[in-house]
Amino acid sequence: MLKLREISKSYGSKQALSSVSLELTEGIYGLLGPNGAGKSTLMNIITGNLRPDTGAVMWEEEEIRSLGVKYRSILGYAPQQQGLYDAFSGRDFLKYMAVLKGISRKHIREEVDRVLSYVNLQEAADSAIGTYSGGMKQRILIAQAVMGNPGLIILDEPTAGLDPKERVRIREKIKEISREKIILVSTHVVSDIQSIAKEIILLKEGTVIDQDTVDALCGKYKGADDLEQVYMHIFGEQEGEENASTDSL
């Protein structure tokens, strides 16, 4: 179980998160909200890349800061095309990440081959990442996130830059591995999460305004036939306003 207890974070006078509390158990959760809602800040706090001003993140009732390096073996994280080394081949990058995750040397080759197959990158495995398309870079990040069979996986816009066929493939692969794992997926492509999510978390201006199943959310917002209509009902005007500016909070 992953618990967030009263998480708050500010950047100067800008409050990115305000008293966010969540309890996540096995399954896939969609994290939805417009630019500036606090999604990136929340994910960076869960992954331990950022400390909250107040509150705590707990894994199995233990604060993640006290878990230290052990948390690396528990966590898989795929940011949006960050932390890549263009001179590395895809295979060498995954080997490097396997070492950082503490995977034993005798299992690294097998694990690298497994995750390359998972994201359909076997043929490009020995090419430099700098030659990869945006979609291929996205897939190599997903590969390193699922490496080592982590119990908690955080995916930030995992289908960004993928063609429709690969989007469907990755969506189904995420669903396949969700058993006995907690997977949190932040996305603007609502259709990618609607069919696979256990619950949807709706974040607005740093506050969780709702958390429920897709069917329950559609029932709450009368006239909504699907999650996209729920999203537009809640965020429609705000999304239009905030797309005029860039905000990575």
Q: Is the pLDDT of residue 1 over 70?
A: yes
Residue 249 lies in a domain: no
d(CA 44, CA 41): 5
For residue 172, give both structure tokens.
């189904």
Total domain count, the chain: 1
Res 244: pLDDT: 39
Residue 239: pLDDT band (50, 70, 90) is: low
Residues 6+ apart with CB under 8 A from 189: 157, 159, 160, 167
Q: Are 2 and 24 in contact (CB under 8 A)?
A: yes
The partner residues of 15 in beta bridges, in order of sequence, read: 10
Res 237: pLDDT: 56
Q: Is the pLDDT of residue 83 over 80?
A: no
Residue-wise pLDDT for 8-60, tens only, equals 999 999 999 999 999 999 999 999 999 899 999 999 999 999 999 999 999 99
| C-alpha dist (Å) from residue 180 to 19, 83, 174, 226 | 28, 28, 12, 27
Longest dimension (CA), the chain: 56
Top-confidence residue, 41 or 188: 41
Mean of pLDDT over the chain: 90
Residue 247 lies in a domain: no
For residue 47, give both structure tokens.
């992954």
d(CA 1, CA 58): 8
- Average confidence (pLDDT) over 128-148: 92
Residue 248 lies in a domain: no
Kindly state the helix (H) or strand (E) to which residue 100 belongs, with its residue range.
helix 90-100
Residue 225 lies in a domain: yes
Residue 66 lies in a domain: yes
Per the structure, the complete domain to which residue 46 belongs is given by 2-242
% of the chain with per-residue pLDDT over 70: 94
Residues 6+ apart with CB under 8 A from 218: 224, 225, 226, 227, 229, 230
Res 117: pLDDT: 94
Claim: this prediction has a pTM higher than 0.85: yes
Res 48: pLDDT: 94
What is the domain-level CATH number for residue 46? Answer: 3.40.50.300
d(CA 49, CA 149): 20
Residue 46 lies in a domain: yes
- Average confidence (pLDDT) over 137-165: 91
